[in-house]
Amino acid sequence: VRSSSPARIEQVRQLIEQVDQPSGKPGNIHVVYLKNAEATRLAQTLRGILSGDGTSLGGSLGGAAAFGASAGFPNQGVSGGAGFGSPQSSGSQGLAPSGGSQNMAGSFGGGITGSGFGAAGFGSNTQSASSAGLGGQNMALGAAQGIQAGAAAGTGPASSISRLGAIVIAADAATNSLIITASEPVFRDIRAVIDKLDVRRAQVYIESLIVEVNADKAAELGFQWQFLNGTLSGASRAIGGTNLSARGEGTNILDLTTNVLGAAQGLNIGIIRNSPLPGAGSNTPGLINLGVLANALQSRANGNVLATPNLLTLDNEEARIIIGQNVPFVTGSYVNTGAGGGVVNPFQTVERRDVGTTLRVRPQVSEGGTVKLAIYQEVSSIQDKTLSAGLITNRRAIESNVLVDDGQI
């Protein structure tokens, strides 16, 4: 080692002493009982941070750059991970050997400007990382890259433990707790992260109204007439007229001649004229029989309330409600015809699907109280008309993301 400062030479000597240690001493085991967070999810998050799969601690946060370095020791299973940060980071060094079960991590004073060594992926104080970035003594830079590269460079027993080196994090779902194997300085930093993540999440109560709005308008204007002409003794008669609607619907002029009270909805106006024959008496049957019917109808369909579901869920957790039926749909069939022409062992494959009203909502609460809602809403129904291939379903779906304030409609 060549340096003009005796203090730096002394710090490097202490660092070498930390590395040159036997790896047979068992590590510390700590149990952390969680109050609000789920142990399985939190364990996965911590593993992702330490292994570098998640957001790296030695990235560009706070404007600091970090570079991971590793040194493997053959046949001893020891690999050290070190992160070197920007000139703003100083004063905190530590080494996390990933071989065996020896966990050595330290924090040395001395103010080495321009270098910081990550202690097993965490610095001396992770609680101020969100506000101070990675500068100063608040965070040791190069945490995730140093651990990841160091564990990959080791040989022997160390490479078979895990990518996390000597740090082991396990979850116990029965007691909702974390079992952590790490040295005391490293565990303190991990515990600081756990305290920030083990918080009570907000609950969101959603009142919804699902309405089907139909803008269909029906307008009908019809004019029908019937004409009959003939004599008393004649064998033939002349007729004429129009039929603009089907029989039995109450809008046909022929139906109204037998049942006037059976007229359809709307405005109905009719007239019948019966004229006697020229020169005949008033009791003589008429020559001309004329019937006229005019009807007008205008209707408007507004809307229909389908459902009014109320949902209660946690922040960033999806809530779902389904109101409808589980309908079977035939997806395939098989018929085995025997030698005698009979059907042997026929069967059909059926897939069941939900038909009705479906609502899925995932809320996300921000710091200011604004709630982001990821909404998926679907309305489906079965048509009365069926085809030989199977049922026909009507489906209307919408998916959207909105921002609302607390109590906003």
- Please, are residues 33 and 176 in contact by the beta-carbon 8 Å criterion? yes
CA–CA separation, 389 and 330 (whole Å): 9
Across the chain, what does the average pLDDT equal? 65
pLDDT value of residue 299:
62
The most confident of the ranges 157-161, 381-385, 395-399, 404-408 is 395-399
- Calculate mean pLDDT across residues 250-269: 59
Domain parsing of the chain, residue ranges: 6-197, 203-211+303-404, 217-300
DSSP one-letter string for 52-109: TSSS-TTSSGGG---EEEEEEETTTTEEEEEEE--TT--S----EE-STT--------
Per-residue pLDDT tens digits for 77-94: 333 333 333 333 333 333
Per-residue pLDDT tens digits for 34-72: 998 899 999 998 888 887 654 433 333 333 333 333 333
User: Can you give the pTM of this predicted structure?
Assistant: 0.46
Per-residue pLDDT tens digits for 220-244: 666 666 656 655 555 566 566 666 6
Best CA proximity match to 215, nearest among 144, 299, 115: 299
Between 219 and 121, whose confidence is greater? 219
pLDDT value of residue 251:
60
For residue 305, the surrounding DSSP H or E stretch is: strand 303-307
Residue 206 half-sphere exposure, CB side, CA atoms within 13 Å? 29
Per-residue pLDDT tens digits for 320-347: 999 988 888 888 877 766 556 565 667 7
pLDDT value of residue 60:
32
pLDDT value of residue 305:
81
Per-residue pLDDT tens digits for 63-78: 333 333 333 333 333 3
Per-residue pLDDT tens digits for 262-297: 565 555 556 555 554 444 444 444 445 556 656 566
pLDDT value of residue 353:
87
Residue 198 has pLDDT above 70, yes or no: yes
Counting every residue written for the chain, the total comes to 409
CA–CA separation, 224 and 201 (whole Å): 71
Residue 4 has pLDDT above 80, yes or no: yes
pLDDT value of residue 291:
63
Q: What angle do CA 79, 69, 6 make, to 5 degrees?
A: 95
pLDDT value of residue 294:
60
Per-residue pLDDT tens digits for 163-182: 355 788 999 999 999 999 88
- Please, are residues 307 and 357 in contact by the beta-carbon 8 Å criterion? yes
Best CA proximity match to 323, nearest among 284, 380, 274, 279: 380
